[in-house]
Structure 1
């Protein structure tokens, strides 16, 4: 139900209430006139003495009827007003529910866009790990082979602008080749202690990959990255022996910002809303206002639900868990919209 239709219901219920009160007011006005007439009749009956006794009885009956009408009008006003108030309350609840569901849908849209984007990254890393230049470099680590692998990685980066850098490492964690060797001096550096390297080195087949949570990479000038890694295998075969690790560093900040800023809120809503992506620990990894990234945690109780709305005071938090996409199941992230 749209905000316009909800507004119409509220407006109509208020109009109906006003009309009812007006009609009840008219009944009371007529009733007051009847009482005045009955009172005057009693006075005249008293003056008439015995001849006016029957008229006095009629006058008293009129007063009794007037009292009944007054009671009915009061009851009618209270009953109808209560029903109209209930209708207005229901309309408000429907409006709140509809708005909450809309925010949930927008939260889902944001996380789905990210999921589909990151699914493509998992495809990239598994595909590029089978490139002959990458396999040859990991298998021999000769200078000429590493130079050629670096040139191939540079070609990829010119076409895929969503990456900061691509690294080919040997099984000891030493970076053999990188796509932006002219910008980042990473070749020869050891990354064996990195979580993504340790996890990727243990993967069973070439169909597997490791997705790392968003973090800052010191070797890339502390840029925000989402790293995807998979082993390079002998002859590029899915079940071949692991001879290296390919890591691709997704340029997280501009890509995620475009998603959270692109959520379709009205200008009025945008002024009082924050669109967020948060990780499984509720840590902010993207924010439409640019605040709190990797520093702020958003508290909301899902109550075991994949999606929903949490209201506290004048603050509404709508959320939707990552649904994943194809072979990418996500990392437990959420799309979130906080609105005052």
Structure 2
């Protein structure tokens, strides 16, 4: 679905480390100049003392000592200015990397929003299919068979869904696409069913683990209406969260960097190493607090839990078209310590 182009360009971490090494070498050269300046300054001081002791005979040597001191002072000032320039180069380099991490975060959340916008459209379209409506509105003897066949076909074609469910207004599942053992279950107490009926419109859950689906998912649910516009049931899909990882894995993140998708509470719902899902909170990070507060785009430079200095770029969802998003954010980090 998404192509990984992370090898097209040199790893940003490699470039950053090369820049840091070059700056380190420049710093060592400046330190050498600084040491020479100090030694020269000491030499000029000793020379001035000896010239004073020599009286008239040492006047010429005193002039030389004075010039040496001027040279030492100038070298010392140049070394100090060079240190400032080197620090500025490192600061600007970090800022460039920071902007880049924010760009990667923005691009990633945008791709996720666009993908989930399609899922939002899917459920609304399928809820209007005749086989789905007839299953709730007619007494045809084969209505359940037809609905099941359609839903199974949809799952096979689209591939990004674990399963599809059709429930009547009592909350009883009357047809599914894959797991037929769920038929007959009562879901009237489930969030997705309650909110869809209550709001009488499309309802999208946050990411969660579904026992029926057997994996992490997002449920998209839509009212099913008869020809008179009356709600007669709920059609619901279970998006396979693993497809989000195709987006995560294609993000241009360096080998010493990382990427996370977090929910509105700062809890990790996707990560490059797949660890800490729905368990780890990143709320201790300033970047995360800014992101979940609704700040659409930015970065911070701060220490992580292991006290390493890192750059954190972040981007907050702005949704896509009619899909408003779930207040998720993407956080991208690069190590600079």
Q: How does 1:98-177 map to 2 (within 5 A)?
A: 98-140=96-138, 143-177=141-175
In the alignment, is the contact (CA less than 8 A) between 2:257 and 2:333 conserved in 1?
Answer: yes
Cα distance in 1 between the residues matched to 2:171 and 2:140 = 16
1:192 to 188, 191, 200: 188
Q: How does 1:259-270 map to 2 (within 5 A)?
A: 259-265=247-253, 269-270=254-255
2:327 to 310, 332, 337: 332
Deviation at 1:244, TM superposition (A): 0.8
Match of 2:224 in 1: 232
In the alignment, is the contact (CA less than 8 A) between 1:6 and 1:91 conserved in 2?
Answer: no
1:322 and 2:317 correspond: yes
TM-score, normalised with respect to structure 1: 0.80
Larger RCO (alpha carbons 8 Å, 6+ apart): 2
Q: How does 1:233-272 map to 2 (within 5 A)?
A: 233-235=225-227, 240-252=229-241, 254-265=242-253, 269-270=254-255, 272=256
Other structure's SS at 2:323 match: coil
2:73 to 55, 75, 85: 75
In the alignment, is the contact (CA less than 8 A) between 2:175 and 2:183 conserved in 1?
Answer: yes
Report Cα offsets for 1:225-276 as digits up to 9, x if no partner. 11001101112x7xx1111111011011x212222222223xxx32x33321
Deviation at 1:65, TM superposition (A): 2.4
Unaligned regions of 5+ residues in structure 1, if any?
Answer: 43-55
Match of 1:49 in 2: none
In the alignment, is the contact (CA less than 8 A) between 1:261 and 1:275 conserved in 2?
Answer: no
Q: How does 1:36-115 map to 2 (within 5 A)?
A: 42=54, 57=56, 59-115=57-113
Deviation at 1:18, TM superposition (A): 7.2
TM-score, normalised with respect to structure 2: 0.80
Deviation at 1:323, TM superposition (A): 2.3
Cα RMSD after superposing both structures: 3.2
Match of 1:215 in 2: 208
Deviation at 1:78, TM superposition (A): 2.3
Deviation at 1:122, TM superposition (A): 0.5
Other structure's SS at 1:227 match: strand
Higher gyration radius (CA): 1
Cα distance in 2 between the residues matched to 1:231 and 1:279 = 26
Unaligned regions of 5+ residues in structure 2, if any?
Answer: 1-11
